[in-house]
């Protein structure tokens, strides 16, 4: 049996994350989004999810095309090869599996997706430009008895990059969710255990929010804290308010966001997004959301 895919990434690609599942199911997208559904084919086996960031001005296609060529040379059959609009834009992006931000960033107007199969193996490649850099995601599935996929950045000859304009006001993933849905969960925030204090560190969601506010003076934000149902509503409303305020302070102090255009509120446990009857649901309900408002 042939070994799993070996892909050579651009020399400037820096690994961000790797997630492995010993045995799982991956729904490989094989067609553009249609009627809010993305056609897929089921693959079972060992799943590896990897992401990289590549600085520089290479376009999405300049990064993806060599990876596609490598897969074809290794005997993979391409099942889907589409750019943002042809894939289905927003609907496709949120109908497929994407590693959470900030490990993988997707601008729904600037991404390219590829899926391919070889026997019982499957590979998908997602490339997007966001925030002045390119982000690459590779998800591979292989039967348990095959060698693991190898993806390595090495120095290689590349075509002269085509200059691609980076507009700071152009919405990337989080901003687009805000504009389409009116609100977005800031999924990468981490609070100290039992505290309303936001843990130190850089947060991709806050960087995006600050940049979006700076580029779009017609908007302002409402940060809303949410909790699970442990404790009274009065207690949870206070906790959620203070967590939202903590996020606002970090936006202003660390990301130079306009304080006058950011408000805060605490909803407590009044707006759950999952069941409070299990630990996973309670964890999902403990969150801070950004709500987009007219200025």
CA–CA dist 71, 6 (Å, integer)? 8
**What is the topology classification, in CATH, of domain 173-294?**
60s Ribosomal Protein L30; Chain: A; (3.30.1330)
CA dihedral 77, 127, 177, 162 (to 10 degrees): -130
CA–CA dist 146, 156 (Å, integer)? 27
pLDDT at 106 over 90: no
Average pLDDT in the 181-192 region? 83
Which stretch of DSSP H or E encloses residue 115?
strand 111-118
Average pLDDT in the 160-182 region? 52
| Nearest C-alpha neighbor of 287 from the set 199, 188, 215, 170 | 188
Average pLDDT in the 65-74 region? 94
The model's pLDDT over 33-58, given as tens digits with 9 standing for 90+, comes to 988 889 999 999 999 999 999 988 88
Q: Are 229 and 270 in contact (CB under 8 A)?
A: no
Domain positions in the chain: 6-149, 173-294
**With pLDDT > 90 as the criterion, what percentage of the chain qualifies?**
48
CA–CA dist 32, 82 (Å, integer)? 8
pLDDT at 167 over 70: no
> What is the pLDDT at residue 3?
40
> What is the pLDDT at residue 187?
83
> What is the pLDDT at residue 127?
96
Q: Which of 59-73, 97-111, 263-277 has the lowest mean pLDDT?
A: 97-111
DSSP string, 83-95: EHHHHTHHHHHTT
CA–CA dist 291, 253 (Å, integer)? 20
Q: Assign 217 to helix, strand or coil.
A: coil
Mean of the per-residue pLDDT values for the chain?
Answer: 84
Average pLDDT in the 153-158 region? 42
Q: Assign 89 to helix, strand or coil.
A: helix
CA–CA dist 261, 59 (Å, integer)? 34
> What is the pLDDT at residue 81?
97
pTM over 0.85: no
> What is the pLDDT at residue 180?
73
Q: Assign 71 to helix, strand or coil.
A: helix
């Amino acid at each position: 049996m042939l070994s799993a895919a070996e892909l050579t990434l651009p020399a400037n690609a820096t690994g961000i994350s790797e997630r492995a599942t010993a045995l799982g199911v991956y729904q490989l997208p094989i067609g553009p989004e249609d009627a809010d559904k993305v056609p897929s084919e089921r693959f079972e086996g060992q799943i590896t999810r990897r992401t990289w960031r590549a600085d520089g001005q290479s376009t999405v296609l300049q990064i993806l095309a060599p990876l596609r060529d490598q897969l074809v040379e290794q005997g993979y059959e391409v099942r889907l090869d589409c750019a943002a609009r042809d894939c289905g834009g927003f609907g496709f992006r949120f109908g497929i599996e994407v590693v959470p931000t900030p490990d993988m960033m997707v601008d729904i107007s600037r991404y390219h997706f590829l899926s391919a199969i070889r026997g019982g193996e499957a590979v998908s490649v997602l490339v997007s430009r966001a925030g002045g850099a390119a982000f690459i995601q590779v998800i591979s599935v292989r039967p348990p008895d095959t060698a693991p996929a190898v993806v390595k950045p090495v120095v290689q000859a590349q075509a002269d990059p085509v200059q691609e304009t980076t507009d700071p006001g152009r919405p990337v993933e989080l901003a687009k969710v805000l504009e389409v849905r009116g609100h977005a969960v800031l999924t990468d925030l981490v609070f100290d255990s039992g505290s309303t204090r936001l843990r130190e560190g850089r947060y991709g969601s806050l960087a995006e929010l600050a940049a979006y506010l700076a580029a779009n003076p017609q908007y302002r934000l409402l940060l809303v804290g949410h909790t699970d149902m442990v404790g009274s509503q009065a207690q949870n409303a206070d906790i959620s308010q203070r967590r939202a305020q903590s996020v606002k302070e970090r936006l202003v102090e660390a990301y130079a966001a306009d304080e006058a255009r950011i408000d805060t509120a605490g909803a407590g446990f009044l707006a759950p997004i999952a069941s409070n009857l299990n630990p996973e649901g309670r964890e999902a309900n403990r969150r801070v959301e950004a709500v987009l408002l007219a200025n």
